[in-house]
Amino acid sequence: MTRNEEAKEAILQRVGQALNGGGVRAPRKHPITDQHYAGRPQTDLDLVSSFQEKLESVGGKVIRAQNLEQAFNELWSICQERGIRNLACSDAPSFRDLTDQAPEGLEILDFPHEQAELLEAEAGLSEAQLGIAETGTLVLDGEQENHRLTSLVPPVHIAFLSSKNIVLHLGEALSRAQQARSFPRTLTFITGPSRTADIELTLVVGVHGPRELVVFLLP
């Protein structure tokens, strides 16, 4: 037996002995049987405006766009306004061949990125597969897109989200992920920019991740 097998056996044996040593145990029965979260309030609130309000309350920006074209035009002007010189894109199909569309002076960095390139990128672009209205959260499904790094490493993260994909609660987002054919290898929840309060409790945004989060809400 290898050391690891030995250790595994010993630990599981200890756990079993500890639990079987003292009297009768309650039968195994998960306490929540029918609903994920029985206390879920019934609500008909406007998902999109709730999402926007919550995201803004944690320092995110929301821009509503009628269609992709309008979103990109808006995106280019944001990059120009802020003097952003390059944009690292995820491998989402909508971001293919952006180089032709991008204005002069904005370099498009296509996926996959060299690590050094990514670390120097001034903004990152990705889609989000879901939004959660209750908390203003973006859900990034690593099975659908490679966007864990473009959404994290550059100081500005710009995300495209379809309003149709906004769900009310965290639980719904989790159960959608679970319904997929194979459970996503990474699932990332993002609620606002990166933040810290480790120095005298002073809030500072953009410590390791983006200091700015901009979400384009598409139909």
Partner 1 sequence: MAIHHLESVFFREKVAEALEDQTLRGALQNATGLFRQRRLAATASLSDWEKLRDQARAIKAETLTHLDHYLPEFVAKAESNGIKVHWARDHQEACQVISQLVSEKQARRIVKSKSMTTEEIGLNHVLETDGAEPIETDLGEWIIQLAGETPSHIIVPAIHKTKAQIADLFVDQLSIEPTQDAEELTKAARRILRHHFAQADMGISGVNFAIAETGSILILENEGNARMSTSLPKVHLAVMGLEKILPRLADLEVFLRLLPRSGTGQHLTSYQSILSGPKRNPDQEGPEELHLLILDNGRSAILAEEITRQSLACIRCGACLNACPVYQQIGGHAYGSVYPGPIGAIITPQLAGLSETKNLPYASSLCGACRDVCPVKIDIPEILLHLRAKSVEAHENGKEAKGFRMWAWINRSRFRFVWAHRLARLGGRIFMKNGQPPQWLQRRAPVLGAWAKHRQVPTLAKRSFREIWKKELSRKQP
- Judged by CB under 8 A, the chain residues 120 through 179 that form the site for partner 1 are 135, 137, 142, 146-149, 152-153, 169-171, 174-175, 177-178
Burial tier of 183 (Cβ tally within 10 Å: 0-12, 13-18, 19+)? exposed
Q: Strand pairing partners for 89?
A: 125
Q: How far is the CB of 98 from partner 1 (least distance, A)?
A: 19
Which of 25, 42, 83, 181 binds partner 1 (CB under 8 A)? It is: 25
Among 107, 119, 180, 219, the residue binding partner 1 under the rule CB under 8 A is: 119
| Nearest to partner 1 of 98, 210 (CB atom) | 210
Closest distance of CB 68 from partner 1, Å: 24
Position 192 contacts partner 1 (CB under 8 A):
yes
Report the C-alpha gap between 128 and 108 in whole angstroms. 19
Q: Which helix (H) or strand (E) holds 131?
A: strand 130-132
Within residues 42-61, the interface with partner 1 by CB under 8 A covers 54, 58
Query: Which sign, positive or negative, has the C-alpha torsion 78, 79, 84, 87?
Result: positive
| DSSP-assigned beta bridge partners for residue 126 | 159
Q: How far is the CB of 70 from partner 1 (least distance, A)?
A: 29
